[in-house]
Amino acid sequence: MSTNTALIPARKGSQRLPGKNIIDLNGHPLIAYSILAAQKSSIFERISVSTDCPQIAKIALQYGAEVPSLRPQEISSSDSPDISWVLLAINDWLNLRGEDYIAILRPTNPFRSSSSIVEAFELLKKNPTIDSIRAIRPIKEHPSKMWRGVPGQLITPFDDSMIINTKTPVHSSPFQVLEKLWIQDASLEIARVKAVRESHSISGRKVMGFEMPNIEGFDINYPEDIEFARKAIVELNL
């Protein structure tokens, strides 16, 4: 029988918002919201926090998560790939089997609901040929409207293709006629352990998109994000 494990990555270092993973958000440290959402979903046998910080580890334990060990410094920098700490967790700390599932719940997404976690898990389990589920949202700025270069110098279009039926460059075409594209957000990633191991990727090779409702994909990275989140929690009575 397969098991479900929530993995919550929480490094101590943050260049844009120092200490963000445990910053106070209306009475709770930021990481607590992801732990509580995982608990409320009632689908995880284990909720495991991966951190290099003893203070974060202590807080995670207080909220009911487990911290098998502190993450080594060599895979805790801002440029360390996710796959490094994920493989450490599933292979060495948790000894997960190929038929098991993991969900990466990043602490910077406090509005992710337990119901969305459950819905995404059910979607993956209904599609046995899919390796993982990734949260996505519609883009607001299309890459076809982007340019290479710097102000004051010659610039070239990022996409120099043409709209065939109008023979108009895509960068000069209305947004409404451009291909609808989606951007990933960090709020939710669910994968089969077997796919992660075989592909050496947290997503595997076959990824299905999952549109997160409204504010659930909101990601905290800057001081102004904290202020917005504090007001939203009050307004939404969370």
Q: At what angle do helices 114-125 and 30-41 cross, to 10 degrees?
A: 50
pLDDT in tens, 23-55: 999 999 999 999 999 999 999 999 999 999 999
- The CA distance from 177 to 182, in Å, is 15
Judge contact between 70 and 64, C-beta under 8 A. no
Assess whether pLDDT exceeds 80 at residue 15: no
**Residue ranges, CATH 3.90.550.10, the chain:** 4-138+182-232
CATH superfamily of 4-138+182-232: Spore Coat Polysaccharide Biosynthesis Protein SpsA; Chain A (3.90.550.10)
Q: Which residues are paired to 5 by β-bridges?
A: 46, 102
- The CA distance from 110 to 118, in Å, is 16
Assess whether pLDDT exceeds 80 at residue 238: no
**pLDDT above 70 as % of the chain:** 100
pTM over 0.85: yes
